[in-house]
Amino acid sequence: MRKLHFPLSDEDIRSLKVGDPVLLNGVMITGRDTVHKWMVDTFIKKTRQPEGDDLEVYQAIKPLLEGSAIYHCGPVVGGLDTKQYTFVAAGPTTSIREEPYQGDVMHHFKVKGVIGKGGMGPKTLAACQEVPGLYLHAIGGAASLIAQTVTRVLGVYKYDFGVPEAMWVIEVKDFPAVVTMDSHGGSLHAEIDQKSKTALQALLTQN
């Protein structure tokens, strides 16, 4: 089990391959559908004008994301009334919903890690090779266990998106994950998909 510390270097990324288990340490940010669409529409494709605190948030998150990771997670957060935030549950969200946005976000914000469950598609895999970066599979069904690796909630941006969709800046210690898409073009998800299709075709042929 290899320990990684944010920010990740290109050497860190290139040294890892599909199947490698890792423990993540340092500061990363949560982000789901609303955040990814906001990032792309406002700052990458620029199909909408910044409004409210958009520019202020952009300036704050850009250095935090460089070399770090986005975690596809809609956490359950305690301490909302007092703003003494703690993560109660922090399980991964299905990642494929971010496929239209993820590659662009990785390039623009220099994100090195994407964490979620279920894998992603060819655009994200291409970004993993180019940036370079990794897709890391977190353990589904272990929301409370993962929450215990969150040592501090450092802040929150775009709270107006709602608690699950906001950008929570968290510090983690020994967050467990497995590399399932690497910077060398390897994708465990694509491999499993192809094997499943082959097995299904064989079954259909027999019948």
Query: Tell me, what's the pLDDT at 132?
Result: 98
Phi-psi region at 158: left, alpha or beta (left = phi > 0; alpha = psi -120 to 50): left
Q: Which domain holds residue 160?
A: 2-206
Query: Mean pLDDT for each 10-residue chunk of the chain (207 residues)?
Result: 96 96 98 97 97 97 98 96 95 95 98 96 97 94 88 97 97 97 88 47 60
Active site residues: 36
Kindly tell me the burial class for residue 196, based on how many C-beta atoms sit within 10 Å of its own C-beta (0-12, 13-18, 19 or more). exposed
Domain count, the chain: 1
φ, ψ of residue 115 to 5 degrees: the values are -120, 135
Which domain CATH number covers 142? 3.20.130.10
Query: Tell me, what's the pLDDT at 88?
Result: 95
Quickly list H helices, 131-179: 143-147
Nearest in space to 61 (alpha carbons), one of 30, 94, 32: 30
Query: Tell me, what's the pLDDT at 196?
Result: 42
Query: Tell me, what's the pLDDT at 125?
Result: 97
